[in-house]
Each structure stands twice: as structure tokens, then as C-alpha cells.
Chain A
């Protein structure tokens, strides 16, 4: 883990009409670090992701990816610079097979861009990378199944697969375990741990318990402001966090 910042947010603000959703967020994530952003519903976690990944324009502030200013760039540009994200609501290519879904995530990163002269079935490097990715997310045996008919947990795994397929160095996962059972969640966390090995990971999570063993640091977002960024233990012990987010429930446990 070296000290250079993979992602830097400088006084990032976002307003929808008169409503201030993100109110001056400053955040720095080192390369190779795993950061979890937690917070109650409506805190602006997903909005923050949408700002970083270029889905929405910022109202003000700057965002840097590996030192390069990416403020205002369209999503595909940011993706090409090595940042890839998943979505809270499963966002896959439903009519395509698992293999084709993963392949969509691979093509640009291997330099095939808008090529209309390469026969895609004969691209060994694309095939290899797609196979590897399917193996890692545990969907290799489902390769020919149409994505739309996969089980929910499988679709979530595929969502992560598309996100990591391009080999991006910075991975943003938006509530990857949303709607999963306890067992499925545990499996998903293990999956996230292995596939983001050596990469910078930022993930949004509603439930602090999920990220406790996974994240190096946790940022707590409340009403569009980061009220604390620290190690999981310190965050859990932080009285302000307990007040705002945990509602004092864990006071005794933390003590």
C-alpha cells in the first residue's frame, strides 16, 4: 500500500434544485485502500458515487483520480482512466448471456474500442479475461445462461463481474449486498475481498456489520456530510457516529 491518493474529493457539493444532497465532502482514499462509506438512508451515499463516477455533474468542488482532475468528465472517460463501478439496483445486460455481459466489460480495456474489423469470437485475450472473470465470480458454469433469468444473488455477482472485468484499479461498489440473505451476504463479502485484492475499493454499505472485517477505513456520511473517517474500531467508538448513525444502540457494546 503506498501513500499516493487514488481518489480525492475536494469540497464536493451537489444540489438538486434547492435541496442540498452533498454538502462539502472532502475525502482521500489511498491506492490499495479499502474504504467503506456508511450512513443512514438518504444520507447521499449513492449520490456521492454518482458524482465520482460521472453519472451526475457536480454543483461545485473537484474530484481527482490518481492525481488527475476528472470533474465533469462523462462516465466512459472516467471508466477509461481506471475507475469502474457497480450499481445498487442491478444494472446488467438482461438479454445477453453471462459470458457476453462480462465480455462487454472487457472489450474497451483490452483496446478493441469501436473496432468493426475484429471477429469478437476469435479474440483469445478477450476470451481468456472473460473466462477468468467468470471463474472468479463463480459463474463459469452459468456462462451461457441469459442474465435476465439468473437468481438475484447470481445477478449481483454478475454486476460485480462486469465491474471488475475491465481490470480497473479503482472499484466502486454501491451496496453490493443489498437485498441478500445473511449467508449470501457473507459469500458476497468474501467475493469482494478476493476480487479487489490489491485494488482500491470504495463501497457504499447500509449495514456497518457487513463492512467491519472488510474495510481498512470507514467514512460515515450523514445528511450529505462526512462526520467521521477512521478505522472501523475507532468509528464504532466515536460518540458523534453513535449519536447520528447508530442512535446510541451500540454504546454499551462499544464501551
Chain B
């Protein structure tokens, strides 16, 4: 049984936020490669975006298929503001420019959110999808403002540097994103601890009861939506500064789907879930895409596996270990976990082998039939390669079956003991 604390554990909270700030500050020191900075910057942006998405899905119970509308339109308004600053139309520090994106997101949240949040559940999802498609169509219809297919490019190095910040070097942009991500995280966490944040949960769980304690559920959803759209807009503003281009892709269903997948993988039930999801999603999208053309397939399979076996997401997988750790029983799970991991790796190797060979056969030129997989030369036209892959898959599957039984037996035994101890 979970015993939640209501008196804020100030010390613990300071440590967590302090460690997060430190991590953000030190992350670029991992490597000199520009690749790392690109990755970290994208993670920071997606962290804000996914957290804002979870204000709807996790906290408000609203499944949106069009959240990119708010980040994308935020990005468009930021790019115009940036270009105007560049032309000298007015002065505005680039550091605060994501605020323009946030306000644009908020404004469109006020407009579109009024329509979407009239209903909840499936109707909400359908309307959000419709608005997403509508905005995407509009973006292509009005090239004067949106720049058509090519989008609008910009130059973030404008005006007089404030405090020596030109935002020329990628490192400065990273720290801009990190600072905004940190502030946004703190703000969105604080929002969960307000009357609106608590009532958003109440409306998610039992809208009827919420109406009978004085709350207009529609208004709760609407306000939650507007605040969420603000942070989505901030994320959009940062992506504009980071990439120096904004195109129709920014408001597309692809982006809306992406943030849904990232948030879900991380876990919608816990505040830090979407942060994990954003990190993992970015690793797939940026790091993995450099190695293989099949990255989207792997992401899809991973998403599928999560939905099927861990619907609470990565955050949930971590959170459920905490009672076991508290009961000092985690060591009993190490061996089953290790076996499951080994089986999983075997399965994964077989899967990667099969996927890469099929991709090679269907996409690559016919003359080269040898590919390098994990340092091995594999001939995709030779029978032994396929036999090896098949054997890996079969052995991995069988091993996984046994390992998962082992894990679940131990797991249930421990859970029973913990419950008995609590009762």
C-alpha cells in the first residue's frame, strides 16, 4: 500500500532539483563532439514538449492527437519575431524569445482549446485530430506567413549580445535550452501542486463527482489545456532558435504522434515519466537514426512492447522497484533480472539481424550482399546467416519465456511478503 506524504519533503526535493540542474549544467562536458550537443539540445526541447503533453494526457486524462499545433505555431511566431529583431524592427533579447512562442501557444490554446475541451474522452481526441489537420492545411495554404513547404528560415545571431551571449556557438544554445527546460520543468511540477492541478486529476478520474464539489469540468480541462499549450509554445520557440528553420513539419501529425509516443514510453502516471520518454525518444530519433535506416521500425516495436508489457512506462517500471528496495529484497531480483536481460539481448540481436538483413535486401543495391553487423561480416544472401538469425530468435524467445516466469514468480513472492508486512 502506498503511503504518500503530503508534507513536502523539502530536503529531498532540493536534492532532486539540485541534481537535475547539475546534470543539465554538466551534460555537455561528456564529449567534445558536436553530435552530443545536438542530441542534448533536442532532448531539452522534447522534455518541455512531452511534459506539456502530459499535462493533458497524464494529469487531465485528455488524449490529444494534435499537440504539435501549439508548439508549431509557437515556433512560427518565434521565427517571425526573430526575423523582425534581425531587421531591427524592435529590440528583444534572444534569451527571452521562447516567451513569444509560449504566448503564441497560449493564445492558440485559448482559441482551439475552447473547442477541444468542450468534450472529454474519445470526442476530445477526435477534435484534437481535426484541429491538427486543419492547422496543417492552413500552414500550407498561407505561404506568406508560413513559408509553404520550405518553411521560414532565420538567423539567431541578431542584435547586440546581452551578457556576452550571441547564441552563435551551439554550446550557448544548449545552455539556453537547458535553462528554459529547467525552469519549465519546475513550473510544470509546481502546477501539479495547485488547486487546478489537483482538480485536473479529479476531473480525469471522476468528472461527475468533480461537478458536485463545485467544479466545472469543462473549465478545468480548458485551463489545463491553455497552460499546457503555453509550455508547448515555449518548446516550439526553442526549436526555432535551435534549428533556425520552421516548416509545416513543425505542426504536423507526425510531431503530434511523436510527442505522444515519447510521453507514453516514459510513463504518463508520474511527473518524471515524460522526461525519461523524451530522452529515450531522442536517442532513437537522433542517435539510432545515424546507425540504421530502420530506426523508426525499432521505435515502433519498442513502443508496442511498452504498451503491451509496461503500460505505465519506464517511470512506472522504476517506481515499482522502490517498495522492493525499501524492503531490502532487491538483491533477490538481481539474478532473475540478469537472466531476463541476457534473454532480451539475445532476442534483440536476432531481431536486429533479421531486420537489417531484410532492409538490406529490399533497399540496398543488389551487387553488395555483405553487410557489417556488430563488427561481423554478414552475407545476406547466404543461408547460414539466416539460420544464425533464426537460431538467435528462437533461443532468445525460449530463454525469455523462462526468464520472465522466473522474474514474475520471484516478484509475486516478494510483493506478497511486502503486503503481509504492511497489513
Give the complex CA separation of A99 and B5 in angstroms. Answer: 11
Residues of A within 8 A of B206 (CB): 91-94
Within 8 Å by CB of B4, from A97, A105, A113, lies: A97
Q: Is the CB of B194 within 8 A of A116?
A: yes
Q: Is the CB of B209 within 8 A of A112?
A: no
Residues of A within 8 A of B73 (CB): none
Q: Tell me whether A104 and B210 are in contact in the complex, defined as CB-CB below 8 angstroms, given that A95-B205, A149-B1 are known contacts.
A: yes
> Which of A37-45, A72-80, A175-183, A206-214 lies at the binding interface?
A72-80
* Interface check A200, CB cutoff 8 A: no
* Interface check A109, CB cutoff 8 A: yes
Q: Is the CB of A107 within 8 A of B216?
A: no
Residues of A within 8 A of B210 (CB): 104
Q: Is the CB of B202 within 8 A of A75?
A: no
Residues of B within 8 A of A144 (CB): 3-6
Q: Is the CB of B196 within 8 A of A114?
A: yes
Q: Tell me whether A93 and B202 are in contact in the complex, defined as CB-CB below 8 angstroms, given that A104-B213, A114-B219 are known contacts.
A: yes
A85-116 vs B, CB cutoff 8 Å, 1 = contact: the mask equals 10100011111110110011101110011111
Q: Tell me whether A121 and B8 are in contact in the complex, defined as CB-CB below 8 angstroms, given that A91-B208, A95-B205, A113-B195 are known contacts.
A: yes
Within 8 Å by CB of A84, from B6, B197, B212, lies: B212
* Interface check B191, CB cutoff 8 A: yes
Find residues 1-32 in chain B having any chain A CB closer than 8 Å to their own CB: 1-8
Give the complex CA separation of A91 and B126 in angstroms. Answer: 28
Residues of B within 8 A of A91 (CB): 206, 208-209, 212
Within 8 Å by CB of A116, from B4, B6, B227, lies: B227
Give the complex CA separation of A186 and B1 in angstroms. Answer: 30
CB distance from A195 to the nearest CB of B (A): 16
* Interface check B214, CB cutoff 8 A: yes
A58-89 vs B, CB cutoff 8 Å, 1 = contact: the mask equals 00000000000000001110011000110100
Give the complex CA separation of A84 and B211 in angstroms. Answer: 10
Q: Is the CB of B199 within 8 A of A104?
A: yes
Q: Is the CB of A116 within 8 A of B213?
A: no
Residues of A within 8 A of B95 (CB): none
Q: Tell me whether A166 and B194 are in contact in the complex, defined as CB-CB below 8 angstroms, given that A95-B205, A96-B201 are known contacts.
A: no
Residues of A within 8 A of B205 (CB): 93-96
Q: Is the CB of A120 within 8 A of B194?
A: yes
Give the complex CA separation of A119 and B213 in angstroms. Answer: 20
Give the complex CA separation of A150 and B206 in angstroms. Answer: 17
Find residues 145-191 in chain A having any chain B CB closer than 8 Å to their own CB: 145-146, 149, 162, 165-166
CB distance from A148 to the nearest CB of B (A): 10
CB distance from A164 to the nearest CB of B (A): 11
* Interface check A118, CB cutoff 8 A: yes
B180-213 vs A, CB cutoff 8 Å, 1 = contact: the mask equals 0000000000110111111101100110111111
Residues of B within 8 A of A74 (CB): 211, 216
Q: Is the CB of A107 within 8 A of B193?
A: no
Q: Is the CB of A85 within 8 A of B209?
A: no
Q: Is the CB of B1 within 8 A of A53?
A: no
CB distance from B270 to the nearest CB of A (A): 13
* Interface check A117, CB cutoff 8 A: yes
Residues of A within 8 A of B227 (CB): 116
* Interface check B316, CB cutoff 8 A: no
CB distance from B213 to the nearest CB of A (A): 5
Residues of A within 8 A of B202 (CB): 93, 96, 104
Within 8 Å by CB of B209, from A95, A107, A149, A162, lies: A162
Closest A residue to B2 by beta carbon equals: A146
Residues of B within 8 A of A99 (CB): 6
Within 8 Å by CB of A107, from B4, B190, B198, lies: B198
Residues of A within 8 A of B5 (CB): 144
Q: Is the CB of A120 within 8 A of B214?
A: no
CB distance from B200 to the nearest CB of A (A): 10
Q: Is the CB of B197 within 8 A of A76?
A: no
CB distance from B199 to the nearest CB of A (A): 7
Q: Is the CB of B212 within 8 A of A53?
A: yes
Give the complex CA separation of A92 and B211 in angstroms. Answer: 12
Residues of B within 8 A of A79 (CB): 211-214
Residues of A within 8 A of B1 (CB): 145-146, 149
Q: Is the CB of B216 within 8 A of A76?
A: yes
Give the complex CA separation of A145 and B202 in angstroms. Answer: 16
Residues of B within 8 A of A76 (CB): 211-212, 214-216
Give the complex CA separation of A91 and B207 in angstroms. Answer: 10
Residues of B within 8 A of A104 (CB): 198-199, 202, 209-210, 213
Q: Tell me whether A114 and B214 are in contact in the complex, defined as CB-CB below 8 angstroms, given that A119-B190, A121-B6, A145-B1 are known contacts.
A: no
Find residues 115-155 in chain A having any chain B CB closer than 8 Å to their own CB: 115-121, 144-146, 149
Closest B residue to A79 by beta carbon equals: B214
Give the complex CA separation of A117 and B209 in angstroms. Answer: 24
Q: Is the CB of A100 within 8 A of B194?
A: no
CB distance from B17 to the nearest CB of A (A): 15
A226-242 vs B, CB cutoff 8 Å, 1 = contact: the mask equals 00000000000000000
Residues of B within 8 A of A97 (CB): 4
Looking at B197, B198, B220, the one whose CB has the most chain A CB atoms below 10 A away is B198
Within 8 Å by CB of A114, from B6, B193, B199, B211, lies: B199
Q: Tell me whether A120 and B208 are in contact in the complex, defined as CB-CB below 8 angstroms, given that A104-B213, A144-B3 are known contacts.
A: no
Q: Is the CB of A85 within 8 A of B196?
A: no
- What 16 additional pairs, Cβ within 8 angstroms, besides A91-B206, A145-B1? A53-B212, A75-B211, A79-B213, A87-B209, A93-B202, A96-B202, A104-B210, A107-B198, A108-B213, A108-B215, A114-B220, A114-B223, A116-B191, A116-B195, A120-B194, A145-B3
Ranked nearest first, the 7 interchain pairs of A and B with the lowest CB-CB distance are A108-B214, A116-B196, A112-B195, A75-B211, A79-B214, A115-B195, A116-B194
A/B interface sample: 23 pairs, CB < 8 A? A55-B212, A76-B216, A84-B212, A84-B213, A93-B209, A94-B205, A96-B201, A96-B205, A97-B4, A100-B198, A105-B213, A107-B199, A107-B214, A108-B214, A109-B214, A112-B195, A114-B195, A114-B196, A114-B219, A116-B191, A121-B8, A146-B1, A165-B213
